[in-house]
Copies of this chain bind each other. A is one copy, B any other.
Amino acid sequence: MAGGARDPGRSVTSRALAILGAFDAHQPRLTLTEIAERTGMALSTAHRLVGELEEWRALRRGADGRYQIGRRLWELGQLVPDPLQEVARPWLQELFGGTGENVHLAVRDGLEVLYVDKVYGKRAVPIVSRTGARLPMHPTGVGKALLAFEPGWFVSSYLSRPLERPTPHTITEPGRLARELTQVRAQGYATTHEEMTLGSCSAAAPVLAGDRPVAAVGIVVSSRRVRELPRLVDPLLAVAARIAGDYRAAVSRPFP
C-alpha cells in the first residue's frame, strides 16, 4: 500500500486492529487462513501479527487450533467506565427477583441495540440476547422503547431503510411502526410478540435521563404466557425509573 510505505506505523496498527475486528459473534473462532481471508492480508503478514497478538494474550489459540479473543481483552473491556451498568445491575436483580423472569439492559449504538447486561435464572425461557450482542431496533422491545424516544429525524431515517424481518410477526411497514412508536411514547413502554424470536414476547421501558433515552430495560417471557405480560409492566416501569434516578445521581458526581 502507498499509505503503508509513507507511514508504516499507521498501516501496521490498523492491520493489527483489523485482525481483532475479524472476530465477531457469528465467527468467534477463526483459523489463520480465515483471518487472512477476512482481513485481506497475506498469510505471512497475518501469521506475524497474530503471533504478536497471541503473545500479548489479545488472542488465544484454542484446543481446536483456531484463534479466539483472549481474556486480556475481556479484562481491558471491563475498564470501560459505565456508570449505567453499575447503577442498573442491582435494579435488574430486583426485577428478576420480584418477577422470576429474564431481564436485560440494552443501549442504542448506531441503528442497533447493544445488550449490555442480562439477569437470568434456571427456570426462565431462554433468550436470544447475549451480553455484547447487537440486534436491530424495530423487532425488539428494548429497541422500540429506545426508538420511540429518539428525535423525529432519527426515527424517520431509521424507518426509511429496508427493515429486517427475523420472523413472520416482525412489523416492517413504516407507517404501522411509526404509529406504534407514538403509542410507546405515550404509554411509556413497548411490547413485542414473537417479532424477534418465535416463542418469546417482551415488554421494555426506556431509562430516561432528562428526555434522552440512555438505555432500555426489557423483560422476556414465553409467548405461551403472553397474558402475564401486563402484570410485569408496573415493576418494569418502576425499575426503569429507579435506574434513571441512580444514573442521574451517578453522572452528576465529579470524577473519582
- Of the stretches A62-70, A152-160, A186-194, A204-212, the one at the interface is A62-70
Residue pair B97, A81 in contact (C-beta under 8 Å): no
Which of B12, B90, B130 is A9 in contact with, Cβ under 8 Å? Answer: B12
A79 contacts which chain B residues (CB < 8 A)? 23-25, 28, 68-69, 132
Residue pair B14, A120 in contact (C-beta under 8 Å): no
Which 7 pairs of residues, A with B, have the shortest CB-CB distance? A78-B132, A77-B77, A74-B77, A12-B12, A69-B79, A74-B80, A13-B16
- 15 further interface pairs, Cβ-Cβ under 8 Å (given A9-B49, A71-B109, A75-B114): A9-B12, A12-B12, A13-B49, A14-B52, A16-B16, A24-B79, A28-B81, A29-B255, A68-B80, A71-B114, A73-B80, A74-B132, A75-B77, A90-B122, A93-B96
Residues of A within 8 A of B (CB): 8-10, 12-14, 16-17, 20-21, 23-25, 28-29, 45, 48-49, 52-53, 56, 58, 62, 64, 68-71, 73-81, 89-91, 93-94, 96-97, 109, 114, 119-122, 130-132, 255
